[in-house]
Amino acid sequence: MPTLNEALRHFELPRLEARLLLAHVTGLSHAAMVSAGPDTLPAAQWQSFAQLAARRLAGEPVAYLLGRREFYGREFVVSPAVLIPRPETEHLVEAALDKVGRNKAAQVVDLGTGSGIIACTLALEAPQWQLAAVDLSPVALAVAQDNAANLGAAVQFYHGSWLSPLPADMRFDAIVSNPPYIERHDHHLDEGDVRFEPRMALTDEYDGLACLREIAASAPGCLLSGGWLLVEHGYDQGAACRALFAAAGLQQVATLPDLAGNDRVTLGMQP
């Protein structure tokens, strides 16, 4: 059997990925791995690592191999039933906290919650808020419920399409969503990690704006006066989203950039 350091170098993997996979099978911290001596790995650990490395080399995303991904400083369970959390979604979380105010009582819903990262993060960052979360996929909802339970986030989950499963008289201080917004023929769908993600979480199977259109049209009717609609979208969808929000009667419509400077989040207020 190889030593830990030999195992780290054994496959043509980026060093960080090899280290994450090896930490996963050995249970060792980064510090413990750095100071590891010349002991060889137990056979079972070496075999598990070799299997994960082979799957990674065949393209499977590290997050799915580990079953975990960090978002907003917390660790979330992920599976191939849900999108892998992306750092740009943290802007949506920050914008919601900023617009509603994290120290006020508020009713907030996350539409298409997936792994539940947005709803759980908001529930934990703003303990006075009451969070609801909706998803069409029962398997995704199970992942989201796992995350809420693991993190102690109080979130009420609903199964269905967008606002439809929510009680008809429910009104919100904020409606947030990271819907599928990739155009059906976009080449990104066939590349890299994205190939392994659930297609229904990525694309509307249309022009990329179908879900954003539906949300912009229906959400304002469920917002309280002064309530906010906030959505994540593609780098080239800012102007289209602002137009949809304005057409739906929202005010103070604006688009915020992500760290790369791309349009990423559009928001508007119900008058």
Tell me which residues touch ligand GLN (CB under 6 A): 83, 86, 178-182, 188, 194, 202
Q: Return the closest-CA partner of residue 175 out of 82, 95, 76.
A: 95
160 is in an annotated binding site: no
Asked whether residue 112 is marked as a ligand-binding residue, the answer is yes
Is 162 annotated to bind a ligand? Reply is yes
Closest CB to ligand GLN among residues 7, 194: 194
Which one, 180 or 238, has the nearer CB to ligand GLN? 180
- Shortest approach of ligand GLN to residue 91 CB, angstroms? 11
The response to whether 98 counts as a known ligand-binding position is: no
Identify which of residues 104 and 195 has a Cβ nearer to ligand GLN in the complex.
Answer: 195
Token pair for 215: 């949300």
CA 244 to chain CA mean position, Å: 23
Q: Which residue has the tokens 């469920």?
A: 222
Does 37 show up as a binding residue in the annotation? Answer: no
For the bound state, the minimum distance from the C-beta of residue 89 to ligand GLN, rounded and expressed in Å, comes to: 8
Helix 43-57 vs helix 15-26: crossing angle, to nearest 10 = 140
Rounded to the nearest whole angstrom, what is the least distance from the CB of residue 222 to ligand GLN in the complex? Answer: 21
**Shortest distance, position 255 Cβ to ligand GLN, whole Å:** 15
Q: Which residue's CB is nearer to ligand GLN, number 194 or number 250? A: 194
Point out the annotated binding site: 112-116, 135, 162, 178-181
Point out the annotated binding site for substrate: 178-181
